[in-house]
Amino acid sequence: MPVLGKYPTSGFRVDAAGPPKAGISAGAVLLINIKQLLTLRSSSGGARRGAELNELGIIRDGAVLSVGGKIVSVGNTSDALRDPWVRENRRKITEFPCEGKVVVPGFVDAHTHPVFMDARLIDFEKRVSGASYEEIAESGGGIRSSLKGVRRATRNQLAQRVLATLEEMGAQGTTTVEAKSGYGLTIEAELKSLEAIREAACRWPGTVVPTLLGAHVVPPEFLARSHSYVDAVCKEMIPLAAKRNLAAFVDVFTERGAFSLKETETILRVAAHHCLATRVHVCQLAKCNLQPILKYHPASLDHLDYVEDGDVAAIAKLDTVATLVPASNYFLATGHFPPARKLIDAGVPVALATDYNPGTSPTTSMPFVLSLACTQMKMSAAEAIVAATMNGACSLRLGNRKGSLEPGKDADIAVFEVADYREIPYWVAANRCSTTILNGIPRTE
């Protein structure tokens, strides 16, 4: 049997989504005769920048073998079928013939808000009639209008919603999901949201990385006393989420109408004190000076629609990943998209994510996000795929386990019913994913 590679642990508490999945176990899985196998293997490791974003490591007539949830070999089909362990155990292996198909690492959706109860149709109609995000929020819609549903719901009801979302994502090639709280905004409702994420994560074979977004907006009962709410986030929510191992990251929505730079700094400092890594929603609606935030080395800066040139150069010097979420730009229909080319050309590692949420991005589809990245942000199909896999993994500090198909990594694999990888972003709003393998567990349409 081929020898397992090394897969060092990340050093971060990214496994906070709970114990290994009860009742689900991964056997041996072999994919063969793959027309284009995109391994994304690289000698450099880590997040991909500049020209590295185009390196797909394609193998033709490829094969991938995974055993017990880990990839053990990646190569061509004839070598895989000659392997003595494969020959001896062939009857026990679940085999997927992939003639004419494309196989990629499972998508890593590194920015989602799945813990909510209801669609926001009034906001949707207002937007269609021309209202802006801020106008909708000021008139009682937006994030605050999702609070009631989450506060009233039981943990189990929320978990069911999250699980349904994870399943929908898995059916479209996503194998790792970052999931934020942020629609409860009381200590109790935020912890309940994180528990719901954990409960859903235990029932889904993929990987879920939970994030506390208690600082999404100031809830109505704290209006005009945002400092007291920030106090509650810092003195209660973060310590409790950390103590109960319910979150791997802390996020803040830094924007006018949400939290100031000063408040953001306070929250980032407290998160670091509790050994939680950080990611920040920034420059979504307006320019903002990122220097004070960069001091805290967030794992990811998200949105960055209005990032300034000086800050782009500063981000390029760090390990911070820029997670772009163009489906929210599409849905808000502002006609403005994040400056992906500028970021890539400056050497910033760019990731792509859905930003799945009820207000600005009600989509679970990473292929749709890839399509937007190509058509609206002028990324190549190769750059979009690397951004949606390896760089998403790095933004979650999981680059050593996820994001490429290499021996020793988690067996997170997506099979697409297309003959060329460029068709993944090309077929707009279609789902060509036929099989997803999540931690070695196959799910087929």
Binding site for Fe ion (CB under 5 A): 355
Residue 253 interacting entry, from Fe ion, ligand NIG, none, C-beta within 5 to 8 Å by type? ligand NIG
Min CB(360)–ligand NIG separation in Å: 4
State which residue has the least CB distance to ligand NIG.
Answer: 359
Min CB(354)–Fe ion separation in Å: 9
CA distance 202 to 91: 29
Residue with smaller CB distance to ligand NIG, 35 or 111 = 111
Min CB(359)–ligand NIG separation in Å: 2
- Residue 368 tokens read as 């749709």
Residue with smaller CB distance to ligand NIG, 62 or 359 = 359
Residue 143 interacting entry, from Fe ion, ligand NIG, none, C-beta within 5 to 8 Å by type? ligand NIG
Residue 186 interacting entry, from Fe ion, ligand NIG, none, C-beta within 5 to 8 Å by type? none
Binding site for ligand NIG (CB under 6 A): 113, 142-143, 146, 253, 281, 284, 328, 355, 357-360
Residue 142 interacting entry, from Fe ion, ligand NIG, none, C-beta within 5 to 8 Å by type? ligand NIG
Reduce the DSSP state of residue 201 to 3 states and report it.
Answer: helix
> Are the C-beta atoms of 238 and 276 separated by less than 8 Å?
yes
Residue with smaller CB distance to ligand NIG, 96 or 133 = 133
36 bridge partner residues:
60, 102
Task: Using alpha carbons, list the distances in angstroms from residue 386 to 178, 198, 231, 271, 417.
Answer: 17, 28, 39, 29, 19
CA distance 211 to 299: 12
State which residue has the least CB distance to Fe ion.
Answer: 355
Distance of CA 173 to the CA centre of its chain: 12
> Are the C-beta atoms of 34 and 103 separated by less than 8 Å?
yes
Min CB(358)–Fe ion separation in Å: 11
Residue with smaller CB distance to Fe ion, 98 or 276 = 276
Residue with smaller CB distance to Fe ion, 178 or 355 = 355
Min CB(380)–ligand NIG separation in Å: 25
Residue with smaller CB distance to ligand NIG, 63 or 136 = 136
Min CB(350)–ligand NIG separation in Å: 17
Q: For tokens 């670091």, name the residue.
A: 272
Min CB(264)–Fe ion separation in Å: 15
Residue 359 interacting entry, from Fe ion, ligand NIG, none, C-beta within 5 to 8 Å by type? ligand NIG
- Residue 185 tokens read as 């905004």
Residue 161 interacting entry, from Fe ion, ligand NIG, none, C-beta within 5 to 8 Å by type? none
Residue 284 interacting entry, from Fe ion, ligand NIG, none, C-beta within 5 to 8 Å by type? ligand NIG
Angle of CA points 158, 160, 161, to nearest 5°: 65
> Are the C-beta atoms of 367 and 428 separated by less than 8 Å?
no
- Residue 346 tokens read as 């400056």
Residue with smaller CB distance to ligand NIG, 53 or 307 = 307
> What is the DSSP track for 16-80?
TT-SSPTT----EEEEEEEEEEE----SS-S---GGGGG---EEEEEEEEEETTEEEEEEEHHHH
Instruction: Work out the number of other CB atoms within 10 angstroms of the CB of residue 257.
Output: 15
Residue 358 interacting entry, from ligand NIG, Fe ion, none, C-beta within 5 to 8 Å by type? ligand NIG
Min CB(408)–Fe ion separation in Å: 32
Residue with smaller CB distance to ligand NIG, 96 or 259 = 259
Query: Quick one: angle between helices 381-388 and 366-377, nearest 10?
Result: 140
Residue with smaller CB distance to Fe ion, 267 or 411 = 267
Min CB(184)–Fe ion separation in Å: 15
Residue 401 interacting entry, from Fe ion, ligand NIG, none, C-beta within 5 to 8 Å by type? none
No. of helices (H) and no. of strands (E), the chain: 18, 16
CA distance 440 to 445: 16
